A = this chain, B = another copy of it.
Amino acid sequence: MGGGKVKARLGRGFRDLLPEQMLARQWMIDVIRRVYEGYGFVPLDTPAVEYLDVLTGSSGDETEHSIFEVANPEMHKEERKLGLRFDLTVPLARVMAQYADLPRPFRRYQVCSVWRTDKPGPGRFREFTQFDLDTVGSKSELADTEIIAGMCDTLDGLKVGGYRVRYSSRRVLNLLIPFAGIPEEQSPEVFRVLDKLDKIGVKKVRLELTTGYKDESGDPIKGLGLSSDQVGKIERFLDVRADERGEVLVRLREMLCGVASAEEEIDTLDRISRHLQTLGYGDDRVVVDLSIARGMAYYTGPVFEAILLDAPEFGTVFGGGRYDELVMRFLGQRIPATGASIGVDRLLAALVHLGRVPLHSSTAKVLVTTMDSSLNDEYLGLAYELRRANIPTELFLGSGGVGKQMKYADRQGIPVAVLLGEDEKNKGVVTLKSLEEGRARSGELAERKDWIQERPGQIEVPRSDLVSAVKAMLFDTGETS
């Protein structure tokens, strides 16, 4: 440890989660876990470190996926390079390929960090947490329905207020190409441009689909040369809307009645809609919205995403869809799968912004103060008695007088303090202090001598009544849980 001081600092794009944030995050993750365990999803854990070719596929380019490379201590054995996972879906695909005797369907959730080398920015980190849930090995739209229903249950469980889950289908969206009379080979570039809708807006998308334009810096953005008739059809397609899911699907069916293979996929969207209706997930919560794209390359069927109505600026907090090709990379065969991913950090930021998540920097409800080291056994005894009654209790372990200890409790948001000195001990009593009430009353009592006489929020109780008196005080301060 010699050699002078090291500056305590973090790498760019990394951050710590201090207790207040961590307690909020744990609360959130526990709620989500309970929802999905209720659906029969089971937890999985995979290592952060995987072989690069597993992460990228055999023809993969790690820069494409922004992968952090990790030095491999086995490299002298001609092993492949290692890297940090950039998502939780690729490791799931590897697991499905590697363990032949996993049950099918396999429904797992995984809540873990992922790493990307992308340039960090406000709210964008190089290490962040995802909560993923997937059903692998089911072709049934019941699986998609349960993903959507679970999204609703999660957002209800987190008490986010209003939200909207939007769903559509990648396969329906693909029909846009023949519908607009666009040659099939132009399809990838058309979708690449459409995927920018949220980012650059409809006007620039229209220009990029047709004649092109110059961006702010004056650089020319090439157009795809579509006709205005073709663009009109695209806009008509994406803009099919109605107050009810069923009505959207009816209109879509009318519009696409000439197009082969439309019926089957619209039937799927219809069945999902009806199933959701049966379970009480109505049009107020779940809508069909053809304009959602959800990463063009990846999905092969229904896609879904959720936004918070009271905090739409946080964007999609929950999104996913059906994908059937991911295990291909390992097994050379298709396995149907559908799932969704929660951006844990983004959703938590939105909940904090909305004031919907309890923020505490302590788990303790009681601070047992320590002012006379000859009474340490007494203090420990008080703390243990409270803990055994399931009241989270902190024993003050620092140095400093009562004032400092009260300040500590106050700052930590600990609502009740227990005080015991030689006098109290001899009288067989303890003093309880409600920090909430003390704070409220000390505003009212202007005179210092009033304050001393009244000692707001402070009571003396028999030592034997400790637990019941603390419980009553916690109840009064609203700390009933």
* A binding-site residues for B, Cβ under 8 Å: 1-12, 14-19, 22-23, 25-26, 37-51, 53-54, 57-60, 68-74, 79, 82, 84, 93-95, 97-99, 102-105, 107-108, 113, 115, 117, 126-127, 135, 137-140, 142-143, 145-146, 149, 271, 274-275, 278-279, 325, 328-332, 361-364, 367, 370, 373, 376-377, 379-381, 384, 387, 390, 392-395, 397-399, 408, 411-412
Contact A271 B376 (CB under 8 A): yes
Contact B329 A138 (CB under 8 A): no
Contact B5 A395 (CB under 8 A): no
Contact B1 A19 (CB under 8 A): no
* Distance from A149 Cβ to chain B, minimum over Cβ atoms (Å): 8
What residue of chain B has the Cβ atom nearest to residue A66's Cβ?
B73
Give the distance in Å from the alpha carbon of A71 to the alpha carbon of B127 in the complex.
Answer: 14
Given A11-B49, A142-B370, 7 other A-B residues pairs in contact with their CB atoms under 8 A: A2-B58, A3-B59, A23-B42, A47-B127, A49-B127, A145-B380, A149-B384
Contact A42 B22 (CB under 8 A): yes
Contact A47 B9 (CB under 8 A): no
Give the distance in Å from the alpha carbon of A15 to the alpha carbon of B45 in the complex.
Answer: 9
Q: Which of B42, B107, B149, B330 contacts A8 (CB 8 A)?
A: B330
Q: Which of B7, B71, B115, B271 contacts A68 (CB 8 A)?
A: B71
* Distance from A433 Cβ to chain B, minimum over Cβ atoms (Å): 17
Top-9 shortest CB links A-B: A40-B394, A3-B59, A19-B42, A8-B97, A40-B364, A138-B397, A17-B45, A14-B47, A22-B43
Q: Which of B113, B117, B370 contacts A48 (CB 8 A)?
A: B113
Q: Which of B10, B57, B376 contacts A3 (CB 8 A)?
A: B57
Contact B361 A42 (CB under 8 A): yes
Hey, which chain B residues are within 8 Å of A41, CB to CB? 363
Q: Which of B9, B43, B278 contacts A98 (CB 8 A)?
A: B9
* Distance from A325 Cβ to chain B, minimum over Cβ atoms (Å): 7
Contact B58 A278 (CB under 8 A): no
* Distance from A2 Cβ to chain B, minimum over Cβ atoms (Å): 5
Contact A58 B16 (CB under 8 A): no
Contact A40 B362 (CB under 8 A): yes
What residue of chain B has the Cβ atom nearest to residue A387's Cβ?
B38
Hey, which chain B residues are within 8 Å of A71, CB to CB? 68-70
Given contacts A49-B127, A69-B71, contact A397 B135 (CB under 8 A): yes
Hey, which chain B residues are within 8 Å of A412, CB to CB? 103
Contact B51 A26 (CB under 8 A): no
14 sampled A-B residue pairs with Cβ under 8 A:
A1-B325, A3-B57, A4-B58, A10-B51, A11-B74, A14-B50, A16-B45, A23-B42, A40-B395, A48-B115, A48-B127, A68-B71, A107-B397, A275-B376
Q: Which of B53, B58, B70, B274 contacts A70 (CB 8 A)?
A: B70
Hey, which chain B residues are within 8 Å of A331, CB to CB? 5, 8
What residue of chain B has the Cβ atom nearest to residue A82's Cβ?
B11
Given contacts A10-B47, A146-B395, A398-B138, contact A73 B16 (CB under 8 A): no
Given contacts A1-B329, A17-B44, A57-B3, contact A399 B139 (CB under 8 A): yes
